[in-house]
Amino acid sequence: MSDEVLNLIGAVCLLLGISLTAIAALGLFRFHELFARMHAASKPQLLGLTIICLGLCLTLRTWYWVLICTVVIAIQLLAAPVASHLLGRTAYRTGIADLSTLSVDELNQAAQRDSGEDQPR
C-alpha cells in the first residue's frame, strides 16, 4: 500500500477511536446507575483506545510505536476488566449500588447458597 492510503486509514482509525472514547465519556455523564456507568467507562473506552493505537501504528509506521501501542493495549486489556469488576463488587458489597435495578442477582444467590440463608437481601 502507498503511504497516502496508510495515512488515510490511520486518520480514519484515529477519528473513530476518538469518537468511541468521547461517547464513553458522554456515557459517564448521562447514565445515572453505577453499573451502566461502569459499562460506559470500560467497553467503548477500551475499543476506542485500541483503534487509536492501530491508527497511530498505521500513521507512524515504526517498530518503536508498534511496540509501545502493543504494550498499552495489553495493559488496558488486563487492567480495565479487573478494575470494573472490583468497582462493581465493592459497590455491591458496601450497598452503594442500587440493587433494585438488577434483573438477575447472581452474587446474592451465591451468597445465600453458601451461607444457607433463604431470605433475599
Q: pLDDT digit of tens for each residue in the chain (121 aa)?
A: 899 999 999 999 999 999 999 999 999 899 988 888 888 888 888 899 999 999 999 999 999 999 999 999 999 999 988 988 898 889 888 888 888 888 888 877 777 777 765 555 5
CA–CA distance, 121 with 111 (Å, rounded to integer): 10
User: Model's pTM, two decimal places?
Assistant: 0.79
CA–CA distance, 52 with 16 (Å, rounded to integer): 8
